[in-house]
Amino acid sequence: MPITPATATHSSSNGTVEAILLELVDEDGNTIGTAEKLAAHQAPGQLHRAFSVFLFDERGRMLLQQRALGKYHSPGVWSNTCCGHPYPGEAPFAAAARRTYEELGVSPSLLAEAGTVRYNHPDPDSGLVEQEYNHLFVGMVQSPLRPDPGEVEATAFVSADELAERHAKETFSSWFMTVLDAARPAVRELTGPSAGW
């Protein structure tokens, strides 16, 4: 997938286009520097800070998103509610809330920390590598979604059984099961035993 200015950069408040910087971290999650977003994902990958959000409705169904087809990394695959990278110096919680609103047009009615997970997932299609120290968040969504079509191709609320069926048939992000498994204790606490997570 070609890299375009829209996918590798963002517009600043004064209208200029700037490269997106990520926070590089050590194995304990301590900040050790910054790197441009694309460079951090090129093989073999540089360990950087990321976040993953799992939101649920009042019935205990998980909100999935299908990543927009125009994304340069993992386009068109299904994944968790929202994922991304804090800007350097930005708290992961603030970044998670910000990106959930930017991508889905909704603010979680509840958002709680659910631990961290470190992983290394190469993407065979793009050749990019997810070398991440990922902060996990779980929460509730109670407002209508207003997805940004530049970020999100489709959304779906699924039960645990429906997710298993969909995961067997559809293509999911390389990191999805890693982050879901790491978040499961918090997911179960949030949704209760009857939801089956």
Tens of pLDDT, residue by residue over 13-44, are 455 557 899 999 999 999 999 999 999 999 99
Catalytic (active site) residue 27? no
Contact 53, 40 (CB under 8 A): no
Q: Which residues pair with 22 in a beta bridge?
A: 35
Tens of pLDDT, residue by residue over 153-185, are 999 999 999 999 999 999 999 999 999 999 999
- Stated pTM of the model: 0.89
Looking at 23, 82, 83, 151, which residue is catalytic?
83
Q: How many CA atoms lie within 13 A of 84 on its CB side?
A: 27
pLDDT above 80 (res 125): no
Tens of pLDDT, residue by residue over 99-124, are 999 999 999 999 999 999 999 999 87
Catalytic (active site) residue 83? yes
Looking at 130, 132, 151, 153, which residue is catalytic?
132
